[in-house]
């Protein structure tokens, strides 16, 4: 069944020191490509990408913002762009200890600049492909998880390792409950539509006990060619009804 309303947009803000790999992470996820010669300090006002995430057949638009990593660029960044982000990523470059030391600063920035809860933060260790130059250890990353009470993951935008998983880890807690809700709504709607297409069978048998799936408040699309929506009133809930009552008393047009 086609949903009448588009699914809600998920906005993600990506923080971290300049050069940690924010833009590369976003590009790998949204555009499925990596630029080895990506210019550093290039994150500007308009550093964002859009893409979509499909979960159980439901498509969610994503808007992912790279927040400038230098205080100068950050000062001129329009905070309104990320105010309503629901999730935040803090990127640590696994080959750069300074980026590890500044995580607190970026967690604080993410808290100040967005409405996202800290349990919707994810710390990403980038450049996992550069094992020889690595200075931030897996234990260090685990310590960050404990300190900031959030999840951590190591990625390589270059080799496309764990990038998709990182975004799923981040968005799952937001999207999974929505999918469950939409599935339930769609189940109810398709049930209601199915039942109403058989309405004639029911009302031609006075005293029929109506199925318990005919619940109060369900939206009914009557199968009369007009596809008008009706709302069922409470007396229908699984009770025995007489023929005329069904027509006159128990549905109200929406
Ligand atoms: N080997 C390797 N290099 C990476 C990876 N991610 C990013 N880089 C390189 O790191 C450099 C900086 O990456 P960017 O994505 O521009 O970093 P940024 O955080 O957006 O930087 P600013 O926009 O200046 O804040 C680029 O040369 C990338 O090619 C990775 O996973 N592995
Ligand atoms: Mg950038």
pLDDT in tens, 107-116: 999 999 999 9
- Residue 92 sits in the same domain as residue 206: no
pLDDT at 103: 97
pLDDT (0 to 100) of residue 114: 96
Q: Atom 6 (ligand 1): residue with closest C-alpha?
A: 21
Q: How many helices (H) and strands (E) does the chain have?
A: 8, 9
Q: Indicate which ligand has the atom closest to the C-alpha of 71.
A: 1
- Same domain flag for 173 and 185: no
Q: Give the residue, by CA position, lying nearest to ligand 1 atom 23.
A: 43
Q: Span 15-42, mean pLDDT?
A: 86
Task: With a cut of 90, say whether residue 247 has pLDDT above it.
Answer: no
Q: Please count the structural domains in the chain.
A: 2
Question: Would the pLDDT of 76 be above 90?
Answer: no
Q: pTM for this one? A: 0.78
Domain boundary among 148, 177, 206: 177
Q: Which of 158, 177, 196 is the last residue of a domain?
A: 177
Q: Among 177, 206, 225, where does a domain finish?
A: 177
Whether residue 5 is contained in a domain is answered as no
Residues 103 and 202 in one domain: no
Atom of ligand 1 at shortest distance to CA of 73?
25
Residues 163 and 203 occupy one common structural domain: no
Q: Which amino acid residue places its CA nearest to atom 7 of ligand 1? A: 21
DSSP string, 45-113: TT-EEEEEEEETTEEEEEEEEEPPSSHHHHHTS-GGGTTT-SEEEEEEETT-HHHHHTHHHHHHHHHHH
User: pLDDT tens digits for 158-175?
Assistant: 999 999 999 999 999 999
The reply to whether 66 falls in a domain is yes
Q: Are residues 229 and 117 in the same domain?
A: no
- Per-residue pLDDT, 105: 96
Q: Ligand 1, closest atom to CA 156?
A: 31
Ligand 1 centre to CA of 117 (Å) is 26
Residue 4, domain member (yes or no): no
Q: Report which bound ligand comes closest to the CA of 132.
A: 1
């Amino acid at each position: 069944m086609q949903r009448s309303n588009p699914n809600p947009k998920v906005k993600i803000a990506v923080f971290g020191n300049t050069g940690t790999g924010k833009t590369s992470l976003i590009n790998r996820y949204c555009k499925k490509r990596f630029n080895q010669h990506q210019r550093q300090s290039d994150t500007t006002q308009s550093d964002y990408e859009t893409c979509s995430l499909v979960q159980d057949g439901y498509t969610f638009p994503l808007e992912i913002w790279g927040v400038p990593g230098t205080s100068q660029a950050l000062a001129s960044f329009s905070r309104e762009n990320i105010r309503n982000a629901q999730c935040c990523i803090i990127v640590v470059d696994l080959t750069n200890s300074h980026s590890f030391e500044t995580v607190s600063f970026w967690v604080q920035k993410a808290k100040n600049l967005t409405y996202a809860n800290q349990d919707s933060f994810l710390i990403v260790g980038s450049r996992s492909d550069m094992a020889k130059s690595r200075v931030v250890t897996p234990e260090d990353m685990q310590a960050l998880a404990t300190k900031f009470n959030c999840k951590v993951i190591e990625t390589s935008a270059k080799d496309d390792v764990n990038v998709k998983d990182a975004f799923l880890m981040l968005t799952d807690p937001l999207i999974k409950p929505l999918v469950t809700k939409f599935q339930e709504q769609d189940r109810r709607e398709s049930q209601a539509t199915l039942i109403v297409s058989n309405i004639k069978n029911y009302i031609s048998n006075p005293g029929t006990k109506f199925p318990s799936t005919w619940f109060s408040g369900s939206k009914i699309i009557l199968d009369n060619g007009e596809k008008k929506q009706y709302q069922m009133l409470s007396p229908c809930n699984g009770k025995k009804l007489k023929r005329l009552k069904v027509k006159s008393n128990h549905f109200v047009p929406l």
